[in-house]
Structure 1
Amino acid sequence: MPHMHLDTARITWLHTPTLNVRSAARRIGVLLFDGFWLLGPGTVVEMFQTANELSGSRAGEEPPYEVQFLSMDGGSVASSSSARIWTDRIDTRYGSGFDVLFIAGGYGAHEAALDERLLGWLRSVQTRTRAIETIGEGRLVLEAAGPVEHDGLQMNRYLGSATTDAARSAANDRNDCARSALMFIKRDLGAELARSVADRVMPGMAATWVPLPAEGGTLSVAEKIRAAARWMEANCDRPVSVADAAQVAAMSERNFLRRFKHEMQVTPSDYLLQVRLRIACNFLTETELPVDKIARRSGTGNGDRLAKIFRKRMALSPTEYRARSRVATEA
Structure 2
Amino acid sequence: MRKTTGEAWEAGRPVHRVVVFVRPGLLPMELGIVHRLFGTAEDDDGRPLYSVLTCASAPGEVSTDTDFSVNVPHGPEALESADTVVVPAAVEDYGPQERGRLAGPVRAALGRVPATARLASICTGSFVLAAAGVLEGRRATTHWKSCAELASLYPEVDVDPDVLYTDDRGVLTSAGVAAGIDLCLHMIRDDHGAEVANTVARRTVVPPHREGGQAQYIDRPIRQVDDSSTAAARTYALQRIGEPLTLEELARQAAMSVRTLNRRFRQETGVTPMQWLGRQRLDYARRLLERSDEPVDRIAARSGFGTGTAMRQHFREVLGVSPRAYRNTFRGTA
Give the structure-1-normalised TM-score: 0.51
CA offsets 1:167-197 (integer angstroms, 9 cap, x no match): xxxx963321111111121122221121121
Q: Which residue of 2 aligns with 1:140?
A: 127
| C-alpha displacement of 1:27 | 0.8
CA RMSD of aligned residues (A): 3.9
The letter of the residue matching 2:121 is T
Residues 1:225 and 1:45: Cα distance change in structure 2 (over 3 Å): same
Please give the secondary structure, in 2, of the residue aligned with 1:28: strand
Contact 1:14 1:25 in 2 (8 A): no
Residues 1:134 and 1:148: Cα distance change in structure 2 (over 3 Å): closer
- Within-5 A mapping of 1:96-175: 96=81, 98-109=82-93, 110=95, 111=98, 114-115=101-102, 116-125=104-113, 127-129=115-117, 131-147=118-134, 157-159=141-143, 161-162=145-146, 173-175=176-178
CA–CA separation in structure 2 for the residues paired with 1:157 and 1:91 = 25
CA–CA separation in structure 1 for the residues paired with 2:139 and 2:326 = 17
Give the structure-2-normalised TM-score: 0.51
The letter of the residue matching 1:90 is G
Structure 2: gaps spanning 5 or more residues: 148-173, 212-279, 286-301, 306-310
Residues 1:125 and 1:226: Cα distance change in structure 2 (over 3 Å): farther
1:36 aligns with 2:21: no
The letter of the residue matching 1:189 is H
Residues 1:113 and 1:189: Cα distance change in structure 2 (over 3 Å): farther
1:212 aligns with 2:284: yes
Structure 1: gaps spanning 5 or more residues: 1-12, 164-170, 236-243, 247-252, 254-331
Please give the secondary structure, in 2, of the residue aligned with 1:125: coil
Residues 1:113 and 1:194: Cα distance change in structure 2 (over 3 Å): farther
Contact 2:20 2:87 in 1 (8 A): yes
Please give the secondary structure, in 1, of the residue aligned with 2:71: strand
Identity %: 19
Please give the secondary structure, in 2, of the residue aligned with 1:68: strand
Q: Which residue of 2 aligns with 1:25?
A: 15
Please give the secondary structure, in 1, of the residue aligned with 2:52: strand
Please give the secondary structure, in 1, of the residue aligned with 2:321: helix
CA–CA separation in structure 2 for the residues paired with 1:226 and 1:142 = 32
Q: Which residue of 2 aligns with 1:64?
A: 49
1:46 aligns with 2:39: no
Q: Which residue of 2 aligns with 1:95?
A: 80
CA–CA separation in structure 2 for the residues paired with 1:232 and 1:28 = 25
Please give the secondary structure, in 1, of the residue aligned with 2:182: helix
CA–CA separation in structure 1 for the residues paired with 2:7 and 2:115 = 13
Q: Which residue of 2 aligns with 1:225?
A: 321
CA–CA separation in structure 1 for the residues paired with 2:69 and 2:145 = 26
The letter of the residue matching 1:31 is F
Contact 1:33 1:77 in 2 (8 A): yes
- Within-5 A mapping of 1:236-315: 244-246=331-333, 253=334
Residues 1:176 and 1:149: Cα distance change in structure 2 (over 3 Å): closer
Q: How many residues align?
A: 207
CA–CA separation in structure 2 for the residues paired with 1:228 and 1:126 = 31
Q: Quick one: higher RCO (CA 8 Å, sep 6+), 1 or 2?
A: 1
Residues 1:139 and 1:208: Cα distance change in structure 2 (over 3 Å): closer
